């Protein structure tokens, strides 16, 4: 079924939505409908969580996996917070949320992580959707073996301030936009707020906020366990 989806500020886009009969048949056929939301999650914040929930609901997924990137190759410009902290913040954020789970397979892998390798590690019977912010979606054609990525998944794109949805549609005509509020929140901004002591309590789940503050994770001196990094799932892949 094709329905028009309105992304704020742009023309309505036409998007494929799973038709009801197929979604109902999946459990009977043993087909798992999985969304993958990858990123550095440094830290995880409300826009990630809202995007995950919207994808579950609008694309009728069975589950959304929050997949922290190990060594994002497109992020070699910045030192990432240690994987153990990023993982713990995701755990705190999604605790007991139906349909949400953590997948740490990219943290287990040595060296640069490529989304295509991650996707190929799922059973072929699993129906995969890749959930990407519009900024990350625009960068997808720079990912390693990106055509194979696009062949393997459905692309669910989250509107993001600063990225024109029509540009994404030009680059990736098969992309489907989630119909959700545009949230101007970023990890970069939260790290900076924490560093200079500005309040950010309502931009992340409270438990994540307290974890950051208790450990002084983004404080000037802070963040013991830091590692360098470079994957493609970072700004997407």
CB 1 → ligand ATP: shortest distance, Å?
25
Closest separation between CB of residue 175 and ligand ATP, Å? Answer: 12
Query: Per rule CB under 6 A, is residue 160 in the interface with ligand ATP?
Result: yes
Q: Give CA separation, 189 vs 4, 99, 110, 161, 162, in Å.
A: 33, 28, 29, 13, 14
Binding map of ligand ATP across residues 68-107, x = CB under 6 A, - = no contact: ----------------------------------------
Residue 40 touching ligand ATP (CB under 6 A): yes
Asked whether the beta carbons of 172 and 155 are under 8 A apart, the reply is: yes
Instruction: Please give the structure tokens belonging to residue 207.
Output: 């438990």
- Residue 80, classified by CB atoms within 10 Å of its CB into exposed (0-12), middle (13-18) or buried (19+), is buried
Q: Which of 133, 139, 223, 229 binds ligand ATP (CB under 6 A)?
A: 133
Tell me: does residue 188 bind ligand ATP (CB under 6 A): yes
CB distance 223 to 62 below 8 Å: no
Residue selected from 7, 13, 36, 47 as contacting ligand ATP according to rule CB under 6 A: 47
Q: At what angle do helices 83-94 and 46-58 cross, to 10 degrees?
A: 60
Residues that bind ligand ATP (CB under 6 A): 39-42, 47-48, 51, 132-133, 135-136, 158, 160, 183, 185-188, 236
């Amino acid at each position: 079924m094709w329905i028009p989806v309105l992304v704020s500020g742009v023309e309505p886009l036409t998007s494929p939505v799973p038709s009801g009969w197929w979604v109902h048949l999946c459990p009977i056929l043993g087909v798992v409908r999985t969304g993958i939301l990858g990123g550095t999650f440094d830290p995880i914040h409300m826009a990630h969580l809202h995007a995950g929930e919207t994808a579950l609901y609008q694309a009728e997924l069975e589950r959304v996996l929050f997949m922290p990137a190990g060594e994002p190759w497109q992020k070699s410009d910045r030192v990432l917070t240690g994987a153990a902290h990023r993982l713990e913040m995701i755990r705190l954020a999604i605790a007991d949320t139906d349909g949400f789970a953590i997948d740490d397979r990219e943290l287990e892998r040595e060296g640069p992580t490529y989304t295509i390798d991650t996707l190929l590690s799922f059973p072929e019977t699993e129906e995969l959707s890749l959930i990407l912010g519009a900024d990350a979606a625009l960068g997808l054609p720079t990912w390693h073996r990106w055509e194979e990525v696009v062949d393997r998944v459905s692309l669910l794109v989250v509107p993001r301030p600063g990225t024109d949805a029509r540009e994404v549609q030009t680059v990736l005509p098969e992309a489907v936009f989630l119909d959700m509020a545009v949230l101007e929140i970023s990890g970069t901004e939260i790290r900076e707020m924490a560093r200079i002591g500005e309040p950010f309590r309502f931009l992340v789940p409270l438990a994540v906020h307290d974890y950051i503050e208790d450990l002084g994770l983004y404080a000037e001196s802070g963040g013991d366990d830091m590692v360098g990094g470079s994957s493609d799932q970072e700004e997407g892949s």
